[in-house]
Amino acid sequence: MTYKASDSTLIQGLGGTPITLTAPLGVLTVQHGLRYRIRFFNIVCSPNYVFQIDSHANITVIEADGIPTQPYTVDQIAIFAGQRYSFILNADQAVGNYWIRAARTKSFAGRINFTILRYVDATDEHQRVCRSEHARECTILSFTSLLTTLPPV
């Protein structure tokens, strides 16, 4: 049996496809100066994704698959089918809009696999949201660093 690979991804229940590039995108609104715990999971069957937020190289992983981890700061997270992560996002960038990307490849063309991180008081026009069109060279999350933090005995 042959399966067709998905050509898009929903983030917060919204997203575009190659034929619906103007579909609404999800928006995660944050207040400058605050910290947020964000939980995300990959509920697909096969592809893995690389998750990143433009200009936010301070994602601190604190949990993997329901298990607290030694805090580890990265600028992207590789997530595979069925995995879950929690991380702390410091909303410390200039007020504006930033792409949140979930990519299966290094290409982010066509707004596929995007949502928007929007700071309070930023414009709501997503046409101006893109800070960069291509993936940066990123530090890949080392799975050996996700050591369980156990309480003292």
**Structural domains of the chain ordered from first start:** 27-143 (2.60.40.420)
Determine the 3-state secondary structure of 102 from DSSP: strand
- pLDDT value of residue 25: 80
Other Cβ atoms closer than 10 A to 18: 11
Q: Has residue 128 got a pLDDT over 60? A: no
Q: Would you say how long the chain is, in residues?
A: 153
Q: Has residue 27 got a pLDDT over 60? A: yes
Q: What is the pLDDT of residues 74-90, one digit of tens each?
A: 989 988 888 999 999 99
Residue 33 near residue 49 (C-beta atoms within 8 A): no
- pLDDT value of residue 21: 66
Supply the pTM of this predicted model.
Answer: 0.73
Q: What is the pLDDT of residues 28-56, one digit of tens each?
A: 999 999 999 999 888 876 667 888 999 99
Residue 8 near residue 113 (C-beta atoms within 8 A): yes
